[in-house]
Chains A and B, each alone.
Chain A
Amino acid sequence: MFFKKFLKVFLIFLLLAFVFTIAEEVELHTINGPGGLEWLIKRYKEFQDKTGIKVTTTVVPYGRDQNIKLMASFLAGGSAYDVFVIDCVEVPQYAEAGWVLAIDEYITPEMKKDLLPFAADGMMYKGKWYGLPWASEWKSFLYNANLLKKAGFTNPPKTWDEFVKMSQTLQNKGIVKYASAWSWAPKECLICDYVAIAATFGAELFDKDNNPKLNSPLAKQALQFMYDMIHKYKIVNPASISWTENDVDKAMAAGDVAFGMRWGLPLVMLNDPSQSKTVGQWKIALMPSIDGKHPYTVSGPMGWAVSAGSKHKEEAIKFIFFMADREGAKKAAIEQGVVPGWASVFNDKDVIKAVPGIEDLLEQGKYVVNRPRVPWYHDFSTMFAKELNSALSGIKSVDQALEDAQKKALEIKEEYEKSKLGK
């Protein structure tokens, strides 16, 4: 009799314990690429220790793979991934589709004042905030000072003419086989590099109303120069047309090239002996330009965002602030080389001490241009990358590629507007 009673009480206790465990444990789901994964997982664990909220992640190979999974999740209600990193070019599309949560009420006037304008702008669409800036990056132009010194140069090039001449000298003296390498595979990385180079020629690819101007004379001049660097001057590793940023990073870290461009805090990786053979050799300079007066580069601010379909919105907000508020951003900058979106973090003495070259980096940060921020960006960039790559590979002439790109961009825009209006 006693045993039966005991068993009943025990079973009820067990059931209650189970129910409470399930009820109390909140689990946030996110999605990441392989870059810096170990560090991210460490941070997720720290968040769990602090708040009791568990964070699990799905790992995908690279870039666009994340968008595919995210979109599938959004179309199914948006609860598969509660939090995710959003790129500035995705904000208009995700916001228009209602997939991402607006977080205006959490951004105080004091925070707005401290956030870097371009990073904040990247997270906004039609006046609303859709993410907390994280990895507020731009691409920096770098040169290997040791290799340049061997060739008799003490300063980096300021104009593209100087860049060509210095590259040829470096190659003619046998210091490097190819002076530079670029990420010009028919992917997003090519769009980024082209946007930067076109800006150094003074070209604007879109007008203020986001209408494409891809076939302007200056845009053609910029692409022609890229083509010439490979085929006429032969100063760019020809494999660049199938390379992404990772391949360029490897070439720079191995000392195979004297010039390159990198996202983020570039010297963190290049000065890490476990990843680089060229520790202490690289310096940051302003981008060369056609006249030495347009040292522009491309920016690509990203942010932590919350899915509009998340079932744990409050916890998700807590998480994005843990990762990307001033304290989180400082940790990320020092430990992982993630560019902060906060002006105060850039000026923090611990960050200045820990991140070499940050002053040079900030100088370049004054000259940044963004990729077009249109809701039809994915369709556009896929098409544009193929056209640019066709020109660089010599499959199409520069003129033809940009004329085709302009025509197709207008078609994509028209198609989007039609579908939006439900025509």
Chain B
Amino acid sequence: MLQKKFGYILIFPSFLVITLVLFYPLIYSLFLSFYQTSVGLGGLKLKFVGLNNYIDVLRSSEWWMSFLRTAYFVFYDIFVGMSLGLGIAILLNKNFRFRGIARTLVLFPYVLPTIVKALMWKWIYNSDYGFLNSLLYQLGIINHYIPWLSEPKLAIHMLIIVNLWEGTPFAIILYLAALQTIPNELYEAAEIDGANSWQIFSKITLPLLMPINLMLIVYKTIATFKIFDIVYALTGGGPGTTTQVVAHLMYSTVFDSLQFGKGASMSFILLIIILVLVYIYTKLFKSEINY
């Protein structure tokens, strides 16, 4: 009994810190989302508006356009990012010379600080001196330099590439770890039974990776719906608003327009959408995960 009490005493400071840094801001932002806010002498002025902020956001075409753009990022991150991650993980799972170095190199984008990544890609995409234009021009693929981040239809895809480059290593690590847990005997038995590579992959590897797939889909949905830094650093949401994602719109609503209540309601709408998506994923995958 004494031991139990002592345990509670020991975890109390951590509990207090978590309450302060996590729950307080969360509850305060929920509170703010029901108020119209303005700044003035002595700080924030609040006026209760009920669900008006939520209704305004849901009626706003800017919000829905930003949401769809973000969903576009998520779509690529899940389908292309995970396929790439799995493909590279399968390659890195094989025995070859310099495998250790290759495994270290693929982690490179994951460990770089965001600001370094942003500056690096800004240089790569530079329309006059950029590495990408220079490479494609020298290979004869393009005959004039392209302003990658200034073309409305191109810019979002250039950001998607950066997001994939940034996010794929995480998928690689998880897939690589999961691949190493699959017993070799299963593959040996399949080979003895005469299964070809595709059959081995589709009947053994892929089903055993289902828990990781679910985890990655959930993680990528959450992480990519929050995408902000590369948009902020590379395009600032432009040209026009063609790369404005929800996190950027929230940032702009809160810090440029100082509409704290509206910004908070946006974040809770996004939270609800993500929770619904995660629930759907879990239901969909439930029947697939039988191992």
Question: Looking at the complex, which of B14-22, B38-46, B71-79, B188-196 is the stretch in contact with chain A?
Answer: B38-46
Q: Which residues of chain B have C-beta atoms less than 8 A from A393's C-beta?
A: 150, 152, 238-240, 242
Beta-carbon nearest neighbor of B251 in chain A? A68
Which chain A residues border B127 with CB–CB below 8 Å? 237-239
Give the size category of A's interface with B: 35 or more
Is A98 on the interface with B (CB-CB < 8 A)?
yes
Tell me, yes or no, whether A32 is within 8 Å of chain B by CB: no
Instruction: Tell me, in angstroms, the Cα distance from A394 to B239 when the chains sit together.
Output: 9
Q: Is the CB of B43 within 8 A of A75?
A: yes
Proximity string of chain B (74-108) to chain A, C-beta cutoff 8 Å, 1 when within and 0 when not: 00000000000000000000000000000000000
Q: Is the CB of B152 within 8 A of A187?
A: no
Contact with B along A171-215 (1 / 0, CB 8 A): 000000100000001110000000000000000000000000000
In Å, the complex CA distance between A96 and B41 comes to 7
Query: Chain B 124-156, CB within 8 Å of chain A: the 1/0 string?
Result: 001110000000000000000001011110010
The CA of A237 and the CA of B258, in the complex, are separated in Å by 34
Nearest CB on A from B206, distance (A): 41
Given contacts A64-B255, A378-B257, A379-B258, are A395 and B239 in contact (CB under 8 A)?
yes
Beyond A64-B255, A239-B128, is A186–B236 a contact (Cβ under 8 Å)?
yes
| B169 located at the interface, meaning its Cβ lies under 8 Å from any Cβ of chain A in the complex | no
Shortest C-beta distance, B137 to chain A (Å), equals: 13
Measured CB to CB, the nearest residue on chain A to B259 is A379
Main secondary structure of the interface of B (DSSP, over half): loop
A 58-92 to B, binary, CB cutoff 8 A, 1 in contact else 0: 00010010011001001111000000000000000
Most buried by A among B126, B150, B244: B150
Enumerate chain A residues within 8 angstroms of B199, measured Cβ to Cβ: none
Give chain A nearest CB distance to B82 CB in angstroms.
30
Are B39 and A185 in touch, CB under 8 angstroms?
Answer: no
A419 touches B38 (CB 8 A): yes
CB <8 Å contact, A64 and B256: yes
Q: A97-B39, A378-B256 are in contact. Are A242 and B238 (CB under 8 A)?
A: yes
Q: How many residues of B contact A (CB 8 A)?
A: 34
Q: Is the interface of A mostly helix, strand, loop or mixed?
A: helix
Alpha-carbon gap, A379 to B127, bound state (A)? 31
Q: Does A240 contact B (CB under 8 A)?
A: yes
With contacts A75-B44, A239-B128 known, is A394 near B149, CB below 8 A? Answer: no
Stretch of A9-17, A41-49, A293-301, A382-390 at the chain-chain interface: A382-390
Q: In chain B between 149 and 182, which residues have their CB closer than 8 angstroms to a CB of chain A?
A: 149-152, 155
Q: A256 contacts the other chain (Cβ, under 8 Å)?
A: yes
- What separation, in Å, do the CA atoms of A30 and B241 have in the docked complex? 33
* Bound CA span A412–B253, Å: 12
Q: Which of B42, B126, B241, B257 contacts A98 (CB 8 A)?
A: B42
Residues of A within 8 A of B47 (CB): 419, 422
Chain B residue nearest to A178 in the complex (CB): B128
Determine if B263 is an interface residue (Cβ-Cβ < 8 Å). no
User: Are A378 and B258 closer than 8 Å at their CB atoms?
Assistant: yes
- When A238-B147, A379-B258 are in contact, do A256 and B241 touch as well, CB less than 8 Å? no
Most buried by A among B42, B149, B241, B244: B241
A240 contact set on B, CB distance < 8 A: 150
Give Cα A77 to B244, complex, Å.
Answer: 32
Interface status of A241 (Cβ within 8 A of chain B): yes
Cα of A77 to Cα of B39 in the assembled complex, Å? 12
Q: Is the CB of A389 within 8 A of B238?
A: yes
Look across to chain B and name the residue whose beta carbon is closest to the beta carbon of A256: B128
Are A186 and B240 closer than 8 Å at their CB atoms? Answer: yes
A420 interface residue per 8 A CB criterion: yes
Closest to B127 in A: A239
Closest chain A residue, CB of each to CB of B40: A97
Contact at A389–B239, with CB atoms within 8 Å?
yes
Which parts of A388-423 form the interface with B (CB within 8 Å)? Answer: 389-390, 392-396, 412, 416, 419-420, 422
- B242 and A395 within 8 A (CB): yes
CB-based nearest A residue for B44? A75
Residues of A participating in the B interface, judged by any CB pair closer than 8 Å: 61, 64, 67-68, 71, 74-77, 96-98, 177, 185-187, 237-242, 251, 256, 378-379, 381-382, 386, 389-390, 392-396, 412, 416, 419-420, 422
> What 3 A-B pairs come out closest when comparing CB atoms?
A390-B240, A98-B41, A393-B239
30 contacts between A and B (CB under 8 A): A61-B115, A74-B39, A75-B44, A97-B40, A97-B41, A98-B40, A186-B236, A238-B150, A239-B126, A239-B127, A239-B147, A239-B150, A242-B149, A242-B238, A378-B256, A379-B256, A382-B256, A386-B241, A386-B244, A389-B239, A389-B240, A392-B239, A393-B238, A393-B242, A395-B152, A395-B239, A419-B38, A419-B47, A420-B40, A422-B45
